[in-house]
Amino acid sequence: MTGQQYLESLRRLKPCLYYRGERVEDVTAHPVLAPHVRAAALTYELAHEERYAGLMTARSHLDGRPINRFTHVHRDTGDLVAKVKMLRLLGQKTGSCFQRCVGLDALNALYSVTYEMDAEHGTDYHRRLAAFLAEVQAGDLMCAGSMTDVKGDRARRPSEQRDPDLYVRVVDRDGRGVVLRGAKAHQTGMANAHHMVLMPTMALGEADRAYAVACAVPVDAPGVVHVFGRQTNDGRRRAGLGVDVGNARFGVVGGETTTILQDVFVPWERVFMAGEWRWTGTLVERFASYHRQNYGGCKVGVGDVMIGAAAVMARLNGVLQASHVRDKLVEMVHLVETMYAGSLACSVEGRATPSGAYLVDPLLANTVKQNVTRFAYEVARLAHDLAGGLLATLPSEEDFAHPEVGPLLGKYFQGAGQAATAVRVRVARLLENMTGGTALLESMHGAGSPQAQRVMILRQAALADKQRLALELAGVPEEERDLLLSC
């Protein structure tokens, strides 16, 4: 699709969507949601630009047709690398989240897991998933990956909750399909997607069998209710402000919803797991690895914009040539490129799964995301350092437009050189928007909490092998090494 066709497709949907107590009728026109819609639309628009087609498109392995890369199943390490480069490009172009990554990662994780699950159980999930994927590719549909349950008491398993609906579960099934009840949180891009692809949020036990469900559901299916969350600067957007919003065209982060499933029926053709609890851990780990790979792409592109904005502010402050300023810019570049290097590394070290789909190296992918939980904050801190206190105390755009105080503010907020005060104000507001609450919090908790990555890093670290290396070099005899490591 083109970007315009994407917008038209959203207008044909009728999701039950609320924001601040009001029903949203058209996400493409709503002042708070429209910036997120435009960010997603860019993933469609750039696929039609010749200079970006190599990154933004691929060939379907199902029928050979050209498709948007956001609907593609990775077939080699080149695809994994191209994905990271595409995400960096889009981060540079939007300075925000473009929302299609979670659905892409969900489809790729399910593609390989359903193949292996069918081989063990004789089920038909992979054929169903491939049929749904063909529909997604043919229509260039946007899927919102839906993993995070609301969780309730996190010390209890899903089946142990006082309220059994705090994790999404199957409450009924028959020859036609299953019925789901529960809620999902932090759903990036859900408000302007076509389908939601649901997955379990954690590795489950046998007692949690009802919660082992993966499926595809239209965002406007009966019984689905979405509630759009508050965000940084959304009050300014709703008031119709432009400059004060900062990133007025594309918003901040991805437009997250809480999505409630009130006895939602899903036909069997759209069900890709229904009770196979032993496979939930594999599915979660693969999805998480794909999604953590992304952060050294998208956050790097956004980081490029932050570096540029910080440099502009230093220029307007007349200190760009100062040695300590240039050293801080070097540190920002170093941090951003370190994140990028990690994403490229986990892609190059990817491997084929039995389905033919390629999976990133899980250890390196989790290392990427662990770095993002720290480095993104340091990049933002350095941007604050270089930009100055203006980011926190700048008067509003209404004051700058006021006939009496506006000219006075224009005089006293001018910077170095010939640049107009308006340039300084716009760049300051952009940095305020990009380094404020919602954006940084997503760097911390998006794709899982920092502790989730540390668990995966330890699991993938091969500590026994590393101990064996040390014991061998220390001259410990092999029989003693084996005895020690067996304890």
* Residue 442 falls in the annotated catalytic set: yes
* Residue 298 falls in the annotated catalytic set: yes
CA-CA distance, 33 to 253, in Å (whole number)?
Answer: 11
Question: Of the residues 6, 57, 101, 373, which is catalytic?
Answer: 101
CA distances from residue 175 to 109, 122, 129, 180, 277 in whole angstroms, order as listed: 27, 18, 19, 15, 21
Question: Of the residues 280, 298, 373, 438, which is catalytic?
Answer: 298
* Residue 282 falls in the annotated catalytic set: no
- Tell me which residue of 455, 355, 368, 446 sits closest to 110, measured CA to CA: 355
Question: Of the residues 43, 74, 256, 340, which is catalytic?
Answer: 256
CA-CA distance, 470 to 183, in Å (whole number)?
Answer: 48
Question: Of the residues 36, 97, 226, 232, which is catalytic?
Answer: 97
* Residue 188 falls in the annotated catalytic set: yes
* Residue 269 falls in the annotated catalytic set: no
Question: Of the residues 188, 232, 257, 373, which is catalytic?
Answer: 188
Question: Of the residues 291, 346, 358, 397, which is catalytic?
Answer: 291
What is the pairing mode between strands 16-19 and 22-23?
antiparallel
* Residue 215 falls in the annotated catalytic set: no
Q: Which residues participate in catalysis according to the annotation?
A: 97, 101, 188, 256, 291, 295, 298, 442
